[in-house]
Structure formats: C-alpha cells, structure tokens
Structure 1
Amino acid sequence: MKNISTPIIPVDLNLVNNSDKTAIDYKAICLFAATGFFWGADTYWTNKKVLFPGSNHQVDEANQLIDSKAYFKWHYTPKKNYSFEEALEDFTTLFETIVEEQIGDQQAILPISGGLDSRTQAVALKHLNKKVTAYSYSFTGGYSESGIAEKIAKACEFDFKKFLIPKSYLWQNVEELAEINQCYSEFTHPRQMAVLEEFQKMKGVFSLGHWGDVLFDKGAPAEYTEKEIITLVKKKVIKKGGLALGEALWEDWQIEGNFQEYLDAKIKELLAKIDIEHIPSKMRAFKSLFWAPRWTSVNLSVFKKAHPITLPYYDNRMCEFICQVPEEYLADRKLQIAYIQKRNPEVAKITWQDERPFNLNNYHLNKMPYNLPFKIGRKLKGGMQKLSNKKYIQRNWELQFLGEENEKQLEKYLFDQQFCNFLPQKTVQKFYHKFKNEDDVFYSHPVSILLTLSIWNKKFNHDQ
C-alpha cells in the first residue's frame, strides 16, 4: 500500500490500473483527436486511468486505486470588504514568496514572451535579486517574439538568449519527443524540443509561467448559464478540423452512439464535479482541473528533460488564493498589470504583445482612432509580403509540414502499413488531401493528430 497526494494542478501523469486486461479506449482517442488532449482520467487504455487532482489516494501493490479523498475543492468565496489594494498586496507577498522558495540560491532559466505571465515572473525575480538567464524564441520567417522579450530582459538586467525554431527540426526529434510526452500531445506544440540541446547547456532551474493567463483573467462572461458554458467549453477546446476527425474515427471504429452526444455528455459529467454556481469561477475551475493537467502539463516533460522545473502559478497556495479573490480583480489581468506597474515601472512601459503597439500603461487606447496608424502599417506590411510571395510563418506546423522534404517525412508516418492496420487508410488520405489541397490551416490539427497516433501505434500499441 502506498499513499499518493496529487497537486491541485498536477504536473505529472499519475497512472493507476483498474483492470488486468489491456484494451484500447477508442472513445477517449476520439476526444483526443477533436481537442488535442485526453479528458478527465482517460488515457489510450481502458485499464489505465489518471488520478484526480487535489486529492490523497491509496494505491495497492498492483497499482490499483483503493481510495481517494479530496483535500481541496475549487470554490468561489471572495473575501468580504476586500479592496483591490489589499488583493494586490496579498498577491505580491504570495507570488514573491513562492518564487523565492522555488528558486532559492539557484540560477533561474526564464522563458520570456511578449505577454504578462513571464513578465510578472521577470519582475519578481528582479525584485528578489535572483540570477537569471532569460530567453525567447521565434519562428524562422515569422514575427520576432524576441524583440519584446529582449527589452524586458534588458530592463531587468538579465542575460538573454535568442532562439530561432528551424524548419524541419521535428523529424530528427519526433521519436524522442514521443518517448518524452508518451504521445499525450500532438508534436507541433512543444517547440522547445527544437532547442532542447541548447537548454541542456544552460545551468539552473526553469521558472515557467504556465497557467497564469487562466488564473488571472475572467473565466467566462458572468451572465452565462450552465447550458451556455457547455457551448463555451466546446468553442474553447475543439480544434479546427478536430470535430470532423473525431467523428470520422468514431465511425471507422464503429463505436455505438453519436460522437457529439458523447462529447456533450463528457463535458456535463466533468462540470458536475465542480460545485460552484458562479459561472466564471466554474469555468476557471474546469480548465484547471481537466485542461491544465491533460494539455498544458503534458509538454512540461520536455523542459524537465533538460533541468528541474518550477511553476509559480501551479502552486497550491496560488490556487487557494484565486478562490478568494473577487472576479472583477482577476478579469482583464488587473492584478498582474498592477503588480508590474508597482514593482517595475520600466517593464510596464514595454509593449504588450497582445495590445501592440501599446503597453501596460496605455493599452486601453488600443481602439479606433488611436490604433489606426498601427493597423494601417500592419496591413501595408502584409501587402508587401504578398507581393514578394514571401510566406509569413505564424505556426510551428508550417515549418514542419510544408515543403517537399517535410511532406516525405510526414507521409512516411501517415501511410505506414502498421498504421493503416490501426486506422483505415481512406480516412488518413481524406484528411491529408484536405490539408494539401483545400485548407492547410483548418486541417493542420487533424494531420498533426494523425501523425501522433501513427507514432503512438508504432511505439506503444502492443495490442496490434
């Protein structure tokens, strides 16, 4: 007998057995195909389940679950007569305490983007006088994310490295990546895999900003009903082309019932586990319980391959704090913005990527007529790129799937005979044809999922 305590937002998959008989969970794979992550306790196998977050579990010698008791349940209990200034002070103390405990005397390795989560960490690390190596990466031939990141690093006096995600890196790394994330995520999302060797040359521990944007923003419109939140969940999690792929696999595997009805029932089942009437908080809890561990956490394993990781927003105390903060303080990133403005006014003056060309002090001007010059400039730049026939890279799959050499590698996996025995070739051909000839943006997700399933089938499906 052993005891396992799962964090409120787990980093690792804690798998237990519920049967001695191995069987593929085709329904779970259909949901994975539609959304890019596994839902609830689901895995590729009916006899392998993931332990529920925020709970204490007893597991026997055969790794079967004996008992579970929750030690934390998401709730919405905002403090009464709690001013924004008090919330900001509490957040400041808590956030910096967590960062101090996580980093200690170690070197921090900080990925910086043009957003707010890593920027908030940068400000805390600077205030705590930590040794920091910061970095950012951009797509070859795409928008330079490193520009804003470098300015933040310079303002905080951090060492800074720029990385470019190269074309076709995936094919020399995809088998290793499959071992790292066990095929629980499609392979074009963890772009950090392209610079894993560079990470390994660094010293220290990662300070990662994952999940700050969910905890510190509005969960959903307050006026939404329970029925509307189901629609919102589907809108948020179903990928372009994902629903069509999920339905196709459901039909190919001759699963009884209707895929969309199963999807709706699954969402209702998981929402029912959250006893919160306040809709924005219920949505935030839903994401944190079922999305963060099964989507966001999966590819943290790539960082862990290089160095230990720390995640201040994942800390149990941060989750407990969020449940006590009035929604109006969390909405629109108010707490993070106020924290940066207070602790490091110079960093607040640096462009906020989502509100370009404005910063944290004037982003409210990102509307007509104030943003008209920027919009005109961006449109002219786009027009010049079209005239030059130069493709502007915005997504990792464009670097990994497009072009003759990429196609050869992709097709090697998609039309592998072993994979054709698992999934009818006509389905693979249909989605690949649509990707190549109709809409590569819309069908990039189905193709990426099919690639993932092909490699999973090759490496982990011993039931074939």
Structure 2
Amino acid sequence: MKIKTAIIPTKQSFAKVDAPHELHLEAICVFAAIGFFLDQDTYYKDEVVLAPSTKYELNEKGFVVNSEPWFHWHYTPRDITFNQALKEFSSLFETIMQEQTQGKKVILPLSGGLDSRSQAVALKQINADVFSYSYQYKNGFDETSIAKKIAEASHFDFKRFKISNAYLWGVIDDLLQLNKGYSDFTAPRQMAIFEEYAKMGDVFSLGHWGDVLFDSMNVSQLSKEEEVRVLQKKLCKRGGVDFANTLWNAWGLPGDFNTYFASRIEGLLGTIEIKDTNAKLRAFKSKYWAPRWTSINLAVFEKAKPITLPYYDERMCEFICTIPEEYLKNRQLQIAYIQSKAPELARIQWQDQRPFHLNNFRYNKIPYNLPYRIANKVKREIKAVSGKPYIQRNWELQFLGDANKQKLKEVLLDSDLKKWIPKSILANYYNSFFNTDHLQNAHAINILLVLAKFNQKYNG
C-alpha cells in the first residue's frame, strides 16, 4: 500500500515497526510535559504515526517498507515588495477558499482574532453562502460580540453559543473515540456544541494554523543551543516538566527526563535545514506541532461535516517559505489584506489587542490602554465577589465545583489507572489541584484524565 502524507496532515495515519508491543513510557512522559506526542511517537513502541510530507510504502501487515520525503520546509525569501506579497497572498487565499467551498454552504467558526476574520473577507469576496457561529465561556470574555459584528458586517447568518459547566462528562467517551487519547479533553471545546453542527451547512472552513504561518516567533538570531531552550519553553505546559519528571521517576526510566527531552528537540531541529531562527522555529511547529496537536481534534468537526483548512493548503505552506520574514512579523499580511478588502472589518475590535482594532492596535500600551485595563480588572473583581469568577479556560468549567470534583475522583482515584500510575501520585495531583493551586496543576489533571480514559478503553 502506498501513502503520501500532506505537508500538514489533518489526521494521523498509523504504521507498525519492529519493536516490542509495550507502552512507550518515554513518549508518554513527553506527552505529560507538552500535551501532545512528538514526531512519530504513539502510546506503544511498535506503532508509529506516519511523518508529514512523506511518501510511504507499507506491506500487507502495515509495516513500513520504504519512505521518502517529498517536501522540506525551507526559507527562500524572494526579492519582492510588501505590496507584491500582499497581492500574491490575496489571490492565492481567495483561490484556495473558492476551490474548497464552491457550490456549498460554508460553516465558518468566527473568533475575535485575524484568521477567521481573513476567511470572512475571502468568503465575502467570492460571494459564498455562509453560516457563521461563535462561542464563549459562561462568565468569560464576551468574544461572541466581536464575532457577531464581523458576521453582521459581512452579511453572514450568525449564532452565538455559551460553553456550559460540566458538559464534558456526557461526551468524554465520544471524544476519546475521536481523538484516541492524543489530546486533552478540554481543549476541543467545539465538542460542547457538536449536536448543532448538523443544522449549519455543508462544509467547515477552519482557520487553524494561520496565526503561526502569518507571524514571526519574534526572537533574535539564536545559536542551536538557544533554539532548543526556546522551543522547550514554548512547548512545555505550566507544571508539565515537573509532572513528566514525576512519571519518569515513578516508572524508573534510565537517565532523566530533562536530558531526554532536550535531546529529542535537538534531534528534530536538526532535520530542518533553515538558518534563520524565526523561519526555523515556524517550520518546527508546522512539522511537529501542527500534525500532532492542532490536527488531532479536527476529528470532532469532521465527524459532523467535511472540513477544509485554507492555511493547511500545500500552496500556502510553499508560499510562506518564500516570503521575507519582515513581512510576516506582527501579522502584517493578514492585517493589510483585511484593511484593503474589508475596511469595515478592520475597524472591529481585535480580541488579542482589546479594546483596540486593526488600525490602532499599536496603541495597546501604557498609558493608552490603562483606562481599559483598570475598568476590566474592576469588572472581574466585582464578578468574583458576587460568586461569578471570571472564566478564561475550559477546564475551569469542567473540573471545578463539587459535581466535577466527584467525577474526577471516580475517574482518577477509583479506577484502574492506579495499576499504571502510583495512587500516591494521583492523589497528590488531585488534592493539589483542588486545595493548593488550580493553575499549576490543571495540565497534569488534564493529562491524567486522558491517561485514565485511554487505559480504560485501549490498555486493558
């Protein structure tokens, strides 16, 4: 069987390798630190995920017989002006959107950012039939108000949703079936409104990865050692390294996690032959982060309707490799595209730069943003005093509170996970999360929940 993987695959393809069928504990420790599996790692030593942009030949038993990369991320900037780059991006982006959505009613998830706003502009340019929607957390920032303004300015149908408390426990087994335990369960909040998708349209247009391709990492030129350290910092979740070290030591693995993790990052960076640090880090994220993290929960959308991803398109990846880094910094191309094609959308608040918009976000600094920051802080403190704390993360709705606490106890402490991970570790993280520090321990709880459900479903 021959398989050609995409530059950024939308789903994982698995193959067999000659190794013992046992848990890949080192890989699971990396998962514990960063929230996804690196490179081709899976839960088991004798199973791998096929690498991106590679041609494979598999035998009848699913073993890899031959493989050959067909694309390499590169940085080959052309001698073009910013306006030339903008013109090329506009044409390419609208061509891709046209090809992906022609003759179909498009489902567009809208946020307060730039990726979906750029899609809204393109869809308007090609006269697409669009149903848009947005969601926000209960007692969280009202991001749907920004999305609604974008939809109204674009003349799209629009519906807003609120992510409710404790929905996770009713869908967690379905979500496990979709992502196979390769992501935490609170990141894909789209699962909260899964039943709504059937009514919306024919095909999703999803804005994943635009924020990585069309921005710079904003670092100076670094040595190889410095690049490894920067990536380690960007990859690791809060409390993730301590959690990984705890599992590493509990399982008696040789050496130490930090050394192992650094060597893995160094080895993977070595596969990218790019000198410019910012372009190299973007390529690393696109090669190893997007397929194993961003793509995992696309399965939720795809279960409901076909999906399209304009920023994943291979022509877009190749285009990015040829654009001078200075044109990508600070989202310049996307901003200029929106300003030139839909100035009314440029004047709508940019969520990451609130209360400013695309034309004045450079004033998002003291003293210009001080009145907003003070008012926002006061508003959040009043909510907290009234018993409605400000919600910024999905796990706050799914894990906190007595009912959620009991559900977590049943899955983590009263399950067979203790046969795999010492109960003392489970109890320590559970108690620390509820009694000491939510933020520091939330990631560990997220991953332990995944491991518990994976153990229940696939490792029995």
TM-score strictly above 0.5: yes
Instruction: Determine the C-alpha separation between the residues in 2 that align with 1:223 and 1:19.
Output: 40
5 Å-filtered alignment, 1:218-297, equals: 218-297=216-295
5 Å-filtered alignment, 1:88-167, equals: 88-167=86-165
Report the alpha carbon displacement of residue 371 of structure 1 after superposing the two structures with TM.
Answer: 1.5
5 Å-filtered alignment, 1:332-371, equals: 332-371=330-369
2:28 matched residue in structure 1: 29
What letter is aligned with 1:105? G
Instruction: Determine the C-alpha separation between the residues in 1 that align with 2:28 and 2:101.
Output: 38
Secondary structure of residue in 1 paired with 2:108: strand
Task: Find out whether 1:6 has 2:2 as its counterpart.
Answer: no
* Conserved 8 A contact 1:220-1:283: no
Report the alpha carbon displacement of residue 28 of structure 1 after superposing the two structures with TM.
Answer: 0.4
What letter is aligned with 2:315? R
Instruction: Determine the C-alpha separation between the residues in 1 that align with 2:381 and 2:81.
Output: 48
* Conserved 8 A contact 1:108-1:206: yes
Instruction: Determine the C-alpha separation between the residues in 2 that align with 1:333 and 1:179.
Output: 36
- Structure 2 residue ranges without an equivalent (≥5): none
Report the alpha carbon displacement of residue 234 of structure 1 after superposing the two structures with TM.
Answer: 1.2
Instruction: Determine the C-alpha separation between the residues in 2 that align with 1:328 and 1:244.
Output: 37
Report the alpha carbon displacement of residue 153 of structure 1 after superposing the two structures with TM.
Answer: 0.3
Instruction: Determine the C-alpha separation between the residues in 2 that align with 1:131 and 1:70.
Output: 38
Report the alpha carbon displacement of residue 227 of structure 1 after superposing the two structures with TM.
Answer: 1.4
- Structure 1 residue ranges without an equivalent (≥5): none
Report the alpha carbon displacement of residue 20 of structure 1 after superposing the two structures with TM.
Answer: 6.9
- CA shift digits 1:385-425 (9 cap, x unpaired): 24324211111001110111111111110013411111110
* Conserved 8 A contact 1:18-1:64: yes
Report the alpha carbon displacement of residue 448 of structure 1 after superposing the two structures with TM.
Answer: 0.8
- CA shift digits 1:338-358 (9 cap, x unpaired): 000011010000000111111
- CA shift digits 1:184-241 (9 cap, x unpaired): 0010101111100011232210000000000000034132222111111111111111
What letter is aligned with 2:206? L
2:54 matched residue in structure 1: 55
More deviation, 435-444/414-423: 414-423
Selected match of 2:406 from 405, 408, 412 = 408
Instruction: Determine the C-alpha separation between the residues in 2 that align with 1:41 and 1:220.
Output: 28
What letter is aligned with 1:430? N
Report the alpha carbon displacement of residue 280 of structure 1 after superposing the two structures with TM.
Answer: 0.5
1:330 matched residue in structure 2: 328
* Conserved 8 A contact 1:219-1:282: no
1:398 matched residue in structure 2: 396
Secondary structure of residue in 2 paired with 1:209: coil
- Taking only the aligned residue pairs, the percentage that are identical comes to 48
* Conserved 8 A contact 1:11-1:298: yes
- The count of residues paired between Structure 1 and Structure 2 equals 460
Secondary structure of residue in 2 paired with 1:369: coil
- CA shift digits 1:153-205 (9 cap, x unpaired): 00000000111111000001001100010000010101111100011232210
Report the alpha carbon displacement of residue 93 of structure 1 after superposing the two structures with TM.
Answer: 0.6
More deviation, 365-374/126-135: 365-374
* Conserved 8 A contact 1:206-1:308: yes
Report the alpha carbon displacement of residue 370 of structure 1 after superposing the two structures with TM.
Answer: 1.8
Instruction: Determine the C-alpha separation between the residues in 1 that align with 2:218 and 2:371.
Output: 32
Secondary structure of residue in 2 paired with 1:136: strand
2:457 matched residue in structure 1: 459
In the superposition, the TM-score normalised over structure 1's length comes to 0.98
Selected match of 1:202 from 200, 206, 213 = 200
* Conserved 8 A contact 2:218-2:329: no
1:39 matched residue in structure 2: 38
